[in-house]
Amino acid sequence: MSQASTSRIGWASVTPALLWTLVFFVVPFVAMAVMSLTQKEGGFSLAAYAQFFQNPSYWRALVNSLEVTLIVTALSVILAYPFAWILAFIVPERWQRLALMLAVLPFWTSYVVRSYSWLLVLAEKGVVNSTLVNLGLLSEPVQIANTRAATVIGFVHFFVMLLTLTIFANLKQLSPNYRKAATDLGASGFQTFIHVILPLTLPGIMVGAFLTFVLAIGDYITPQILGGNNELLMPQLIMMQIGRRGDFASASALSLILMAVVTLAYLACARWLKIERA
């Protein structure tokens, strides 16, 4: 086969995917950028951006979003790592598949419904409060539903599962020798963990953490259902621009600002996020 025809086949196989990405991702992105700079009556304007930087309640949405997302990411990693460790090394090999399946199972219901069921669980007359009050562990119900805590719980619920999966996969890829070293060394096991295992699983953690960050910071449903509108996060502010005002310039500008933040996060962990062939 000639060199020319080889590369023709190569191009033919990659072109559909490239075209799709170009037409339905890059071009819309440019359209959105143009839209964010357009006034309602037409003509160039920076008003949509000016609004964000001048209006403290818009700023606040970004700060809220960052706070919530960072808390969620940190909490999820902290909760998921030991869980993945237990699943990978303490649960017997032949039960691991089942254990993982079980951990994923509850996420097979629609995610809109999942947030809603957290609301039922956390409500003042919900399951948690009424059980604790009936058992005498609480004298009166605690207010969790309709607060930032509820939003965080709803997010962490999902991302613990996601991170457990990625960290589990990573731990399983470690050479058994490391594991042996870690378990055999007993008292100094913790040091082995810090100096050997943790650095080796760091790429997996970073991939999971980054995914968590991207998915959480762009999610509308969870804060909208659980947060009780006691504060606004960026996606809520963006949807408000469309839903209440039909203000696409502003929604586009806010989306781009959100995306810039995600890009910064990406650059921060870029060296762990390379997709390589086996």
Partner 1 sequence: MTINRLTRRLFGASVAAMALMGSYAAASAADLNALVWCDHSDPNLLKPFEDATGIKVNVKEFEGTGAGLAIVEQSQPGDWDVMVIDTVDVRRGVERNLFDALPEDQLPVAEIFPEVLMDQHSKFDGKRYGITEKFGYNTIGFNKSKVEAADMETLGVLTNDKYKGRIAIYDYYLPVMGLAAMAIGKKTSELTEADLPAIKEVLQKMKANAKALTDVVASQTALATGEADILIGGGEWVTAGIAKENPDLDFSIPKEGAVLWSQSLAMFKDSKNKDNALKFIQYIMSPEGQARLATSSCYWGMPASKAAALDADQKKILRFDEQPEFLKRAQGYPAPSEDLDKKMQDLWTAMIQGQ
Partner 2 sequence: MTRVLAILYALLLYGFIFLPVAVLVLFSFQGTLFPIPPFNGPSLRWYAAVLGDARLTSGLANSIVVALVTSAIATLLGFLSAWGFARFHLPASAVLRGLITLPLTVSYLIIGMGLLIFFNWIGIPKSLLAAGIGHVVINLPLCFAIIYSQMGDHQATIERAARDLGASELKVLVLVTAPMMWPALFASFFLSMTFSWDEFVISFLLTRFETTLPVEIWNLLRAGLNPKTNAVGALVFGISIILAIIFELVAFRKRPQ
- Contact between residue 239 and residue 220 where contact means Cβ atoms under 8 Å apart: yes
The residues, ordered by sequence, that sit 6+ positions from 109 with a Cβ below 8 Å of its Cβ are: none
Maximum Cα–Cα distance across the chain: 81
Among partner 1, partner 2, none, the one that 232 touches (CB under a kind-dependent 5 to 8 A) is: partner 1
Q: How far, in Å, CA of 118 to CA of 182, rounded?
A: 38
Quick note: the x/- pattern for partner 2 over 48-87, rule CB under 8 A, is: -------------------------------x--xx--xx
Q: How far is the CB of 35 from partner 1 (least distance, A)?
A: 12
Residue ranges binding partner 1 (CB under 8 A): 55-58, 60-61, 64, 119, 123-126, 143, 145-146, 228-232, 237, 240, 242-248
Stretch that binds partner 2, among 11-19, 45-53, 136-144, 167-175 (CB under 8 A): 11-19
Per CB under 8 A, 117 contacts partner 2: yes
44 near partner 2 (CB under 8 A): no
Pick 15 or 55: Cβ nearer partner 2: 15
The answer to whether the beta carbons of residues 161 and 232 sit under 8 Å apart is no
Separation of first and last alpha carbons in the chain: 27
Among 121, 169, 196, 200, binds partner 2 (CB under 8 A): 121
**Whole-number Å distance between alpha carbons of 83 and 160:** 9
Ramachandran region, residue 228 (left: φ > 0; alpha: ψ -120 to 50; beta: rest): left
CB of 132 to partner 2, least distance (A): 12
**What residues have CB less than 8 Å from 16, skipping those under 6 apart?**
none
Positions 87 through 106 that interact with partner 2 (CB under 8 A): 87, 90-91, 101-103, 105-106
